[in-house]
Chains A and B, each alone.
Chain A
């Protein structure tokens, strides 16, 4: 019998990478280690303390220990603040005076109704500010860079005048505009008219440019999914006809199970990231098909 053998150094072994792909690409939690011998290793939390792993019929199968899914997936909840999402708010100064629209001028305090500002993100924290469905705030080309309402759609080379860099954190907001003199923050001087003339030093606010938004819409959204294996018990109230279709959650108890992770070998070899499937096993089932009593 003739056979050939190929020798691979440890550094020639590439750690396989896995993703769970259901609604989106849900990233698995892992960390990497590089040993001095040249071997690299990606330690997936999914595989930690695995009960068994095997290759069978071109498939990779791994039986895990009883695991909480929150330990398997990476941080899957992502928060998007205003500036990256649309939203609307009233804008006021730190001493509580609202921005108002009066006679084609944006003023701080005084007569007029409080100005509702709608944020339309067009880039990473670059936004357009609408005060009604067709009117945007625009910065004058010339000093003192007065901010005024505009219904004109500018050419692409001039659109920067209707775009602002928004920085929102912890209930405070700054808006920065591009001007001929460089970046300037929106603020107001002694005439209380909104212009790109903000001046704040260390502890001195000459023309304060930090505003406080009073949100009409949510200030942020959290997207992602919440991985968990829970035993949920429902009940519906049959006493009244009105509620007969309403199901209410009676209780929700965490019930971790063993997991079976599988993927094809071809997928592992051919792709940088392999799609892995994770199945919950009936760890907590009794032989009669009911859940084991929880403690």
Chain B
């Protein structure tokens, strides 16, 4: 028994999307190429929404022998990032629509699993406290715990039905927890002693057959990268670029791509160690200054300018090139930009103003050493 899997729509954000803009606008994803003869739908992070339709052949059952049939379809969107909604289930053979949103960049394929259950009776009719019903066909000691766990979420309206946590369930300890095979969106759980933990209206299953089919298409999600931008507040005319020059450097115009900015690493361009402004730990220490430029997202590293003083010394060039590297959340994709500060004019003070006195000099084999005084400071020079 097979189920079809066809694409209804693939919507995504525009290719010029920026996280700062929000997600108001969606456009159809383009089918730009094929992989192995199958269409490749190309969308953009953080939102590429796929809608699929599925139809299943009708299940035949035998009412004369009290055998009923149920059909379960599980669509696996192959998304381990947005995994909460990765699996969609449908009970029955009616035409169904499945929907999922991909957040992260990657190439995905979709698989539908169709299981036909042959049910001999309803579980509530035959439950016996002396029985323990194991799930068959799955060894919980193996690694494929993922989708079993998903199945353990129960209907919230039933008496014992609440979402159990991994730690509460402790179901790695085989065989402390056993459960009946599912025949719906819920399940019956019976503990090791045979006590019914959750008496839902489930079914005993006589037999089941599962078939799978992978969709005849691929979904590719691309990332829109951030664009770093650094601005500086400096005097208007270059004549005023006199050392030491205090400037205000701002990353506020850095453009987000698919994801918010997670951190900005600053290289102030004068051989001092890099400094970092992180989303998950904002640094309030100087030279960072909070601006609140992005009032709706106060943790954004772009809210922090840097106020810094550049000084022309004998060891530096006349210009400085501070830079920032802006990293996106989740992918760490980054962009770098730099800006020019300068050229700085040396301090507008002549040595006459500073009372320079050469006190003594001495020749060596390779040069001359001079000692002198500038104001109250002692200086040593060589030629």
Q: How far is the CB of B128 from chain A (nearest CB, A)?
A: 29
B-chain residues with CB within 8 Å of residue A84 when the two chains form the complex:
none
The residue on B at minimum CB distance from A34 is B346
Interface 1/0 per residue, B305-326 and A, CB below 8 Å: 0000001111110000000000
B330 within 8 A of A: yes
User: Is A48 within 8 A of B377, CB to CB?
Assistant: yes
Of A49-57, A232-240, A278-286, the one touching chain B: A49-57
B-chain residues with CB within 8 Å of residue A62 when the two chains form the complex:
378
User: Is A35 within 8 A of B347, CB to CB?
Assistant: yes
A39 within 8 A of B: yes
Q: How far is the CB of A135 from chain B (nearest CB, A)?
A: 17
Q: How far is the CA of A37 from the CA of B313 in the complex (A)?
A: 13
Of B24-32, B66-74, B358-366, the one touching chain A: B358-366
Q: How far is the CB of B13 from chain A (nearest CB, A)?
A: 14
User: Is A268 within 8 A of B80, CB to CB?
Assistant: no
B-chain residues with CB within 8 Å of residue A92 when the two chains form the complex:
none
B371 within 8 A of A: yes
A-chain residues with CB within 8 Å of residue B141 when the two chains form the complex:
103
Q: Is the interface of B mostly helix, strand, loop or mixed?
A: loop
**Number of residues in A with C-beta < 8 Å to the partner?**
75
Interface 1/0 per residue, B112-151 and A, CB below 8 Å: 0000000000000000000000000000010101110110
User: Is B377 within 8 A of A189, CB to CB?
Assistant: no
Q: How far is the CA of A36 from the CA of B351 in the complex (A)?
A: 8
User: Is A32 within 8 A of B104, CB to CB?
Assistant: no
A22 within 8 A of B: no
Contacts A110-B166, A191-B149; A60 near B81 (Cβ below 8 A): no
Interface of chain A residues 10 through 53 with chain B (CB within 8 A): 10, 12-16, 18, 31-37, 39-44, 47-50, 53
The residue on A at minimum CB distance from B172 is A111
Q: How far is the CA of A181 from the CA of B220 in the complex (A)?
A: 11
Of A154-162, A169-177, A215-223, A244-252, the one touching chain B: A169-177
B-chain residues with CB within 8 Å of residue A36 when the two chains form the complex:
345-350
A197 within 8 A of B: yes
B106 within 8 A of A: yes
Contacts A13-B370, A54-B371, A103-B141; A201 near B311 (Cβ below 8 A): no
Q: How far is the CB of A81 from chain B (nearest CB, A)?
A: 12
B299 within 8 A of A: yes
Q: How far is the CA of A187 from the CA of B112 in the complex (A)?
A: 26
User: Is B377 within 8 A of A102, CB to CB?
Assistant: no
Q: How far is the CB of B28 from chain A (nearest CB, A)?
A: 24
Q: How far is the CA of A269 from the CA of B260 in the complex (A)?
A: 54
The residue on B at minimum CB distance from A209 is B330
The A/B interface has a contact count, at CB < 8 Å, of 217
User: Is B382 within 8 A of A14, CB to CB?
Assistant: yes
Contacts A32-B316, A207-B81; A111 near B346 (Cβ below 8 A): no
**Partner among A48, A58, A110, A143 whose Cβ is within 8 Å of the Cβ of B376:** A48
Q: How far is the CA of A13 from the CA of B380 in the complex (A)?
A: 9
Contacts A201-B46, A206-B81; A58 near B331 (Cβ below 8 A): no
**Number of residues in B with C-beta < 8 Å to the partner?**
82
A-chain residues with CB within 8 Å of residue B359 when the two chains form the complex:
53-54
The residue on B at minimum CB distance from A111 is B172
**Partner among A15, A49, A193 whose Cβ is within 8 Å of the Cβ of B145:** A193
Q: How far is the CB of B48 from chain A (nearest CB, A)?
A: 14
Interface 1/0 per residue, B332-358 and A, CB below 8 Å: 110000000000011111111010100
Contacts A13-B382, A15-B314, A199-B330; A35 near B349 (Cβ below 8 A): yes
B300 within 8 A of A: yes
User: Is A32 within 8 A of B313, CB to CB?
Assistant: yes
Q: How far is the CB of A38 from chain B (nearest CB, A)?
A: 8
B-chain residues with CB within 8 Å of residue A242 when the two chains form the complex:
none
**Partner among B80, B278, B371, B376 whose Cβ is within 8 Å of the Cβ of A197:** B80
B-chain residues with CB within 8 Å of residue A108 when the two chains form the complex:
166
B-chain residues with CB within 8 Å of residue A182 when the two chains form the complex:
105, 223, 331-333
User: Is B281 within 8 A of A37, CB to CB?
Assistant: no
Most B Cβ at <10 Å: residue of A62, A176, A198: A198
A210 within 8 A of B: yes
Interface 1/0 per residue, A182-208 and B, CB below 8 Å: 111100011111010111111100110
B159 within 8 A of A: no
Interface of chain B residues 9 through 68 with chain A (CB within 8 A): 19, 46
Q: How far is the CA of A108 from the CA of B166 in the complex (A)?
A: 9
Most A Cβ at <10 Å: residue of B299, B316, B368: B368
User: Is B170 within 8 A of A54, CB to CB?
Assistant: no
B-chain residues with CB within 8 Å of residue A103 when the two chains form the complex:
141, 143, 172
Contacts A183-B332, A185-B332, A270-B366; A55 near B371 (Cβ below 8 A): yes
Q: How far is the CA of A209 from the CA of B331 in the complex (A)?
A: 11
User: Is B313 within 8 A of A181, CB to CB?
Assistant: no
Q: How far is the CA of A18 from the CA of B380 in the complex (A)?
A: 10
B-chain residues with CB within 8 Å of residue A183 when the two chains form the complex:
331-333
B156 within 8 A of A: no
Q: How far is the CA of A170 from the CA of B383 in the complex (A)?
A: 49
User: Is A144 within 8 A of B380, CB to CB?
Assistant: no
A-chain residues with CB within 8 Å of residue B83 when the two chains form the complex:
189-191, 197, 207
Q: Can you list 18 pairs linking A and B with CB atoms under 8 Å apart?
A: A32-B314, A33-B313, A37-B351, A42-B313, A42-B315, A42-B379, A48-B377, A53-B373, A54-B371, A109-B166, A111-B172, A143-B80, A182-B223, A183-B333, A190-B83, A192-B166, A193-B146, A269-B367
Residues of A within 8 A of B (CB): 8, 10, 12-16, 18, 31-37, 39-44, 47-50, 53-55, 58, 60, 62, 97, 102-105, 107-112, 143-144, 169-170, 172, 176, 181-185, 189-193, 195, 197-203, 206-207, 209-210, 265-266, 268-270
Q: Top 3 A-B pairs ranked by shortest CB distance?
A: A32-B313, A40-B314, A191-B146
